[in-house]
Amino acid sequence: KLINSIDRSLRSRAEQVIPGGMWGHMSTRYLGDAYPQFFARSEGCRLWDVDGNEYVDLMCSWGPIVLGHHHPAVEDAARRQRERGDSMNGPGDVLVELAELMVDTVPHADWVMFQKNGTDATTACVTLARAGTGRRKVLVARGSYHGAVPWCTPSLAGVTTEDRAHLIHFDYNDVQSLEEAVDQAGSDLAAIIVTAFRHDIGRDQEMPTAGFAQRARQLCDLQGAALIVDDVRAGFRIDLGGSWEPLGVRPDLSAWSKAIANGHPLAAVTGSDRFREAATKVYVTGSFWCGAVAMAAAVATIKTLRDTQAIAHMRDMGQRLRTGMEALASRHDLKLRQTGPAQMPMVLFEGDPSFEKAALFCASALRNGAYFHPKHNMFLSAAHAPADVDRILAAAEAGFAAVAREAAAG
Ligand code: PMP
């Protein structure tokens, strides 16, 4: 059993001064009571909650931690920059180094601009596409997550119809529905925005088919619209050059964040020359967008990803996890659906529409030292070694046993 008295007391204090105790996706309200809300420390692929319980991490801060918590090269670069300056009256010289590195690393990129959060980047992409085309309609896949402002947030609280007046929805990977949406937009089509692959919460992940990706590119070319790939979640975990690079499809604009600086706050928009002029005209900025520390961290992160086999390693560890999970589940006569890229695992139980098996599994795995998510995709990092995956599997065994016991009892 987890000890959680410090977490409990922090939560009750938080209830008084923070609406609902915690906002957004990191609220444990979505995870169940077993989960700790507050953390004390993290290192490599481990994290410790405020009560001192240790977990092998499978969320990696929901994506940002790609090399492992406190990666020495990244923290060293950040510390050296912090000693020189962070928030100044303009960017540090590191901005140019980072921009050159991004343009060298991402084949579709002729230029780059930096922000702080993924939402800043996706929203800037949409604004840029409209500025560059002089049009209004933006095609968005049903259920895709692009951020937390009125045009894209999943909650409609506080959102007006006008905020979304120029969005048209289609189904991911469905060429016909994409074509119908393009027809509906007619000559007012500014952009098609797509996530790197389908990673909507609570459903099987789906890689884009080559046919879908190519058709999206072709339709944008035919209509003079912008193809935007939202690589905020998958960027730097699938392919350093962008997640659609293996498909041979290059976007006009791409949004990046999460893994770009291994946990330091940074986002980016990369674009082609076609949108360079539009990018000089839109007014996008923020008080902290020039922070030099995050940029120095990003240079170190991207160079480390480039110079090591980090992505291949994450994929291998993800495959080790997937194979192990499958074997354990079948030993308990349980059927799993494990989908998407192995390094971004989505684990769902067959016959579990309200995620009750998932909740039971996760609570038990958590008590045994592995931090799973019941219905969101998870993230491996370069710091996960085979022994860590085996440690996760040992915790998972307890989770499967709990689910099997419940099934036998019920
Ligand atoms: N796009 C995608 C695909 C995301 O996964 C996220 C974050 N989960 C965002 C955009 C928004 O990023 P942020 O939360 O940093 O604003």
CATH 3.90.1150.10 intervals, the chain: 5-69+309-409
> Can you give the pLDDT at residue 1?
61
Asked if residue 7 has its Cβ within 6 Å of ligand 1, the reply is no
Backbone phi and psi for residue 257, each to the nearest 5 degrees, phi listed first: -165, -120
Which is nearest to 239 in space by CA: 261, 256, 216, 262? 256
Ligand 1 centroid to 382 CA: how many Å? 21
Secondary element (H or E) of residue 97: helix 94-105
Predicted TM-score (pTM) of this structure: 0.98
Asked if residue 122 has its Cβ within 6 Å of ligand 1, the reply is yes
Residue from 115, 155, 257 to probe ligand 1 pocket by mutation (most atoms less than 8 Å from CB)? 257
Asked if residue 117 has its Cβ within 6 Å of ligand 1, the reply is yes
What CATH number has the domain spanning 5-69+309-409?
3.90.1150.10
Tell me 198's DSSP state. B
Question: Concatenated DSSP letters for 13-33?
Answer: HHHHHSGGGS-GGG-GGGT-T
Asked if residue 231 has its Cβ within 6 Å of ligand 1, the reply is no
Total number of residues shown for the chain: 410
> Can you give the pLDDT at residue 32?
84
> Can you give the pLDDT at residue 410?
78
**Would you write out the chain's pLDDT as a tens digit for each of its 410 residues?**
678 999 999 999 999 999 999 999 999 998 988 899 999 999 999 999 999 999 999 999 999 999 999 999 999 999 999 999 999 999 999 999 999 999 999 999 999 999 999 999 999 999 999 999 999 999 999 999 999 999 999 999 999 999 999 999 999 999 999 999 999 999 999 999 999 999 999 999 999 999 999 999 999 999 999 999 999 999 999 999 999 999 999 999 999 999 999 999 999 999 999 999 999 999 999 999 999 999 999 999 999 999 999 999 999 999 999 999 999 999 999 999 999 999 999 999 999 999 999 999 999 999 999 999 999 999 999 999 999 999 999 999 999 999 999 999 97
How many Cα atoms within 13 Å fall on the side-chain side of residue 11?
18
The ipTM (two decimal places) reads 0.99
Asked if residue 230 has its Cβ within 6 Å of ligand 1, the reply is yes
> Can you give the pLDDT at residue 3?
86
CATH 3.40.640.10 intervals, the chain: 72-307
Position 136, amino acid? R
Ligand 1 atom having least distance to the Cα of 25: 8
Long-range contacts of 243-248 (CB under 8 A, 24+ apart): 243/196, 243/197, 244/196, 244/208, 244/213, 245/107, 247/208, 247/210, 247/213, 247/214, 248/210, 248/214
Pick the CATH number of 72-307 from 3.20.20.70, 3.30.530.20, 3.40.640.10, 3.40.50.300: 3.40.640.10
